[in-house]
Amino acid sequence: MQKNQLAGHFKLPPVDKQLDIHSTRCAKAAFLPDRLDLSHNLPASIPAFYRHFQRRQVLDPVRKIELIHKKIDVYYYYQDIYIQVNLKKKNGKKMRLGIISALHEEQQGLMEAMQDATTTSHGGRVYTHGKLWGIDAVCVLSRIGKVAGAVTATLLVEKFGVTHILFTGVAGAGDASIAVGDIVVADALVQHDMDASPLFPRFEVPLSGLSHFPGDHAMALQLLAAAHGFLEHDFMDVVDAGQRAAFKLQQPRVHRGLIASGDQFMHDRHVIQALNAALPGLVAVEMEGAAVAQVCFELGIPCAVIRTISDNANEDAATDFLTFVSAVAAHYAFYIVRRYCQGLAEHGF
In angstroms, the CA 94 to CA 96 distance is 7
Q: What share of the chain is helix, strand, coil (3-state, %, to 5)?
A: 35, 25, 40
Reply yes or no on whether 346 is catalytic. Answer: no
Shortest gap between Cβ of 108 and ligand SAH (angstroms)?
14
Catalytic residue among 73, 105, 106, 182: 106
Q: Cβ 243 to ligand SAH, closest distance in Å?
A: 17
Distance of alpha carbon 295 from alpha carbon 162, whole angstroms: 13
Query: Cβ closer to ligand SAH: 6 or 139?
Result: 139
Least separation in angstroms between residue 286's CB and ligand SAH is 3
- Which residues of this protein are in contact with ligand SAH, per CB under 6 A? 102, 144, 169-172, 265-266, 285-288, 310-311, 313, 317, 321
* Element containing residue 106 per DSSP (H, E): none
CA–CA gap between residue 136 and residue 349 (Å, rounded): 12
- Number of helices (H) and strands (E) in the chain: give both, helices first: 12, 12
Question: Distance between CA atoms of 308 and 106, rounded to whole angstroms?
Answer: 9
Query: Half-sphere exposure of residue 249, counting CA atoms within 13 Å on the CB side?
Result: 27
Between 149 and 343, whose beta carbon lies closer to ligand SAH?
149
In angstroms, the CA 343 to CA 349 distance is 9
Cβ-based nearer residue to ligand SAH, 23 or 264:
264
**Residue (256 or 307) nearer to ligand SAH, CB:** 307
Closest CA to 290 of 275, 279, 304: 304
To ligand SAH, the closest distance from the beta carbon of 322 in angstroms equals: 6
Residue 73 among the catalytic residues: no
**How far is the C-alpha of 253 from the C-alpha of 58, rounded, in Å?**
38
* Residue 186 Cα distances to 116, 171, 284, 346, angstroms: 31, 12, 9, 24
Least distance in angstroms from the C-beta of 304 to ligand SAH: 15
Report the residue number, 83 or 227, with the smaller CB distance to ligand SAH.
Answer: 227
Question: What is the SS3 assignment for 113-128?
Answer: HCEEEEEEEECCEEEE
Q: In the complex with ligand SAH, which residue's Cβ is closer, 163 or 312?
A: 312
The smaller minimum CB distance to ligand SAH, of residues 38 and 246, is found at 246
Of residues 32, 74, 76, 82, the one with CA closest to residue 53: 74
CB-based burial, 238-254: b 16+ in 10 Å, e otherwise? ebeeebbeebebeebbb
Which residues are designated catalytic?
Answer: 106, 311
